[in-house]
Amino acid sequence: MSAVHEGLFTDEPRLLGSRCARCGGHHFPRHETCAYCSSEEVEPVELSSTGALWAWTAVNAPPPGYRGEVPFGFGVVELPEGVRVISRLTEADPSRLSAGQPMRLVLVALDDDAVTYAFAPC
């Protein structure tokens, strides 16, 4: 299987982001220009593999073209760098999740051909 999109994550797994040398802001995915201060002084970084759950829901109807399992969790995880990542969640039952819950980055099969990243409860 191959990554759903190159340049988003490593095999360890770690998300691939960027950090602005001028203002210190972090971004995901990687950017060539800082979204906070417009500086072009950005450098590639590997972001933290853990974070805290900020928002979540369950997706019960598959999006067009989606071939994976339904339902699946979907949410926002805030990393220590301050970046909020919109992501699949491995937990599909919203009642088993809570605000601030520790989450860890994992790789999951999206379908028979592709691997993507998701966050799982710690």
pLDDT higher than threshold 80 for residue 101: yes
81 within 8 A of 51, measured Cβ to Cβ: no
Using 50, 70 and 90 to split pLDDT, how confident is the model at 52? very high
- The whole-number average pLDDT for the span 36-58 is 97
Percent of the chain with pLDDT strictly greater than 90 = 80
- The whole-number average pLDDT for the span 74-103 is 97
Model confidence, pTM? 0.91
- The whole-number average pLDDT for the span 31-53 is 97
Q: Which residue has the higher pLDDT, 11 or 2?
A: 11
Determine the 3-state secondary structure of 96 from DSSP: helix
Expressed in angstroms, the distance from the first to the final Cα of the chain is 25
Q: Which residue has the higher pLDDT, 115 or 99?
A: 99
Alpha-carbon span 82 to 61, nearest angstrom: 31
- Write phi, then psi, for 77 (nearest 5 degrees): -120, 130
